[in-house]
A and B are shown apart, each in its own frame.
Chain A
């Protein structure tokens, strides 16, 4: 049990990295990775919302939509639940936990339309439909891993971008193009992890 959870967790961070191999959450990855501080803040908010969103949408799907035969409403229900949830969390944090709100809160409105969050809630449902051993706990661990994977990619990339700032780049490549080429090189390094988790935990 624990073994399979560890496998799910590591796979979500390394082999199935949401940013670098699934292309989910590219906008914040490119937009807020310029400074390490904001990269960490954004990732913290993403981890938090991913786990929370999965914790809420999984029971809704399994115990409300499936018995009623309304699986096709998944998209519309999930996005509304996530949007409402993010709003609620923002209000609650503002009222009861101002220090946490100050460090995470500013990123929350951006997360509603982040495809990584909607993506993780849908992918765990997809995984569960093909594998009966994939339970609610695995889904939560998967969401946590996906968030941590996002953090790893953001922090790594923030480091790369700080170096880019001081380098001499051809005019045409300044700004976004060179950032994308750098992202491509970081993604190559993540290809090296393929097969790692399967071999590590058998």
Chain B
């Protein structure tokens, strides 16, 4: 029973408490870029979740085999392999999503969430919890992007999932689907999540949670990294 409960926790922590986007502030690039429409947000979320589950499983299974010194290149290779598979699947079965995600689909490979989870969780835990962790983080990532996608699509075009909602009586504010709108909505959502959770603000885009933070100690000494 206790085991079951912790398994559930592994899954659920990624959705609210440690939401990768709103709390840990990881994976900002795709969050800002693909959330111009709710459909894109879901497509990107599912693709990233698949990669996250598979790479977490493999990295966790190989955690005693990969030498510590070359672990980052090894993780990147594993992740890139799964990204390629997902890329081919999306191209074959959802060409419209492939078209609208464009370069951000292959760029999942450098998404900090995936490398971050590999480094922080999968390299230290067993296979099943790692997969659940990947699933939870993926769902959290998708949910945050979906929220942003809905807000931006509604305000920017008056539609949600392409279905007109306010179109006709409220003129759309096009700037919300343009890049500035992305920064603005993201800023507002993080402020809201700070307000609701009453926690200390994340000072900056997570240097602490950055997978490379171990190697950039010099940068910290220079005072470059904000934390």
Contact = CB atoms under 8 A, between A and B. Distances in A.
A122 B106 contact: yes
Interface stretch (B57-65, B76-84, B93-101, B136-144): B76-84
Given A23-B33, A27-B28, A83-B73, A75 B187 contact: no
Nearest to A80: B77
A188 B225 contact: no
B179 A72 contact: no
Interface string A107-125: 1011011110011001100
A80 B74 CA distance: 10
Contacts of B192: 172
Contacts of A80: 73, 76-77, 80
Interface string A6-31: 00000000000000111111110011
A178 interface: yes
Given A21-B179, A23-B179, A27-B28, A106 B224 contact: yes
B204 interface: yes
A187 interface: yes
B212 interface: yes
B212 A76 contact: no
A20 B202 CA distance: 22
A20 B80 contact: no
B207 interface: yes
A184 interface: yes
The interface size bin for chain B is 35 or more
Interface string B13-36: 000000000000100111011000
A177 B87 contact: no
A181 B183 CA distance: 6
Interface string B187-211: 1101110110000011111110011
A41 interface: yes
B87 A23 contact: no
Interface residues of A, number: 55
Contacts, number: 171
Contacts of B205: 26-27, 30-31, 176
Nearest to A29: B205
B216 interface: yes
A2 to B, nearest CB: 28
Most chain A beta-carbon contacts within 10 A, residue among B30, B112, B179, B223: B179
A151 interface: no
A172 B191 contact: yes
Interface stretch (A32-40, A54-62, A138-146): A32-40
A109 B216 contact: yes
A151 to B, nearest CB: 16
Given A24-B29, A107-B219, A30 B204 contact: yes
A42 interface: yes
Contacts of A107: 219, 224
B11 interface: no
B188 to A, nearest CB: 7
Nearest to A39: B224
Given A23-B32, A75-B80, 7 more contacts: A31-B204, A72-B87, A75-B106, A83-B76, A110-B210, A115-B110, A126-B103
